[in-house]
């Protein structure tokens, strides 16, 4: 089974840059997209509903903002767009959560907010992190397995960011955020699927559009596939696709020894 996760930074912009020309050649079973920046009714071009895929969107109420999607070669048993935490309505109102269920496996497309625009959004980010941690903790009590395709908007270690020291006070690299990932992996046992295969530093999924960051590989690894512990040994191959640029993020491709 091959899963691709990709922050499109606008699915219509990614389409203009060739994403949907590239996708059919990737032999993916599931594609999780974050930051669609569109509402489904605006996506009238058939390119956004490609043949051979079941396509699901969870949109932000605000036009041109956030939004997630899942494309699946296999029709899910169910699709859920509601996380259900009253204290964190942004998961629904900002289109940040979408779950497809296949038997005992769930694949989730998740887009956590950035706090880089100021204290208010950072406070919202922390609140959503708290809600999500509680939810992911509760999942450890059931028999389902999970693959969470997420733009966390958080780097985990020094190996995941080029300018470690310079970013210690910036959202996405704050000690509290990185400690949250420590707890996710340590206390709850979830696994960073990419790091199961590739331990090399300077493997990034996002580059700023400023200062020739892409050309100089001054990046951040903030896009993940995080799996429940029972899937840790199923990861067979990983790749960050960088041959073409469809966004300021790169697609993360991971193969699993699983079948849907």
Mean pLDDT (the chain) is 97
Band the pLDDT of 4: cuts 50, 70, 90: very high
pLDDT number for residue 255: 98
Band the pLDDT of 260: cuts 50, 70, 90: confident
Sheet of strand 252-256: strand arrangement? 54-58, 68-72, 30-34, 2-7, 252-256, 235-240
pLDDT number for residue 104: 97
Kindly name the residue from 29, 45, 54, 151 that is annotated as catalytic: 151
The H-or-E segment that residue 236 falls in is strand 235-240
pLDDT number for residue 236: 98
pLDDT digits (tens, 9 = 90+) for 211-225: 899 999 999 999 999
**How far apart are alpha carbons 156 and 159 in whole angstroms?**
8
Q: What is the mean pLDDT of residues 103-129?
A: 95
Q: Is the pLDDT of residue 116 over 90?
A: no
Distances (CA, A) of 234 to 101, 113, 256: 18, 29, 5
**How far apart are alpha carbons 66 and 58 in whole angstroms?**
9
Determine contact, residues 104/143, Cβ cutoff 8 Å. Answer: yes
pLDDT number for residue 112: 97
Q: Is the pLDDT of residue 115 over 90?
A: no
Q: Is the pLDDT of residue 108 over 90?
A: yes
Q: What is the mean pLDDT of residues 100-120?
A: 95
Q: Parallel, antiparallel, or unpaired for β 97-102 and 78-80?
A: antiparallel
Band the pLDDT of 187: cuts 50, 70, 90: very high
CATH class of 2-256: alpha beta
**How far apart are alpha carbons 59 and 35 in whole angstroms?**
9
pLDDT number for residue 250: 98
- Alpha helices for the chain (secondary structure H): 11-16, 19-22, 90-93, 119-139, 175-186, 193-197, 213-216
Closest CA to 34 of 14, 50, 61, 62: 14
- Taking the mean position of all CA atoms in its chain, how far away is CA 157? 18
pLDDT digits (tens, 9 = 90+) for 230-256: 999 999 999 999 999 999 999 999 999
Q: Is 151 a catalytic residue?
A: yes
Q: Is the pLDDT of residue 178 over 90?
A: yes
**How far apart are alpha carbons 57 and 129 in whole angstroms?**
22
The pTM for the full model equals: 0.97
**How far apart are alpha carbons 1 and 87 in whole angstroms?**
35
């Amino acid at each position: 089974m091959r899963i691709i996760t990709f922050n499109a930074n606008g699915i219509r912009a990614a389409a203009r840059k060739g994403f949907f020309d590239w996708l059919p050649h990737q032999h993916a079973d599931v594609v999780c997209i974050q930051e669609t920046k569109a509402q489904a009714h605006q996506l009238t071009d058939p390119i956004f509903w490609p043949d051979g895929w079941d396509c699901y969107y969870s949109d932000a109420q605000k036009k041109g903002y956030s939004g997630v999607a899942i494309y699946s070669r296999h029709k899910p048993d169910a699709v859920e767009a509601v996380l259900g935490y009253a204290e964190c309505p942004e998961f629904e109102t900002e289109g940040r959560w979408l779950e497809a269920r296949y038997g005992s496996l769930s694949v989730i497309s998740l887009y956590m907010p950035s706090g880089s625009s100021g204290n208010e959004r950072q406070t919202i980010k922390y609140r959503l992190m708290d809600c999500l941690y509680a939810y992911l903790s509760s999942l450890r009590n059931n028999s389902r397995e999970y693959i969470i395709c997420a733009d966390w908007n958080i780097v985990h270690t020094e190996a995941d960011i080029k300018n470690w020291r310079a970013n210690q006070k910036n959202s996405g690299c704050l000690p509290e955020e990185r400690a949250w990932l420590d707890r996710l992996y340590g206390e709850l046992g979830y696994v960073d699927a990419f790091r199961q295969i590739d331990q090399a530093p300077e493997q990034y999924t996002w580059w700023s559009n400023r200062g020739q960051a892409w050309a100089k590989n001054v990046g951040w690894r903030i896009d993940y596939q995080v799996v429940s512990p029972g899937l840790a040994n199923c990861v067979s191959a990983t790749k960050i696709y960088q041959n073409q640029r469809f966004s300021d993020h790169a697609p993360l491709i991971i193969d699993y020894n699983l079948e849907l």
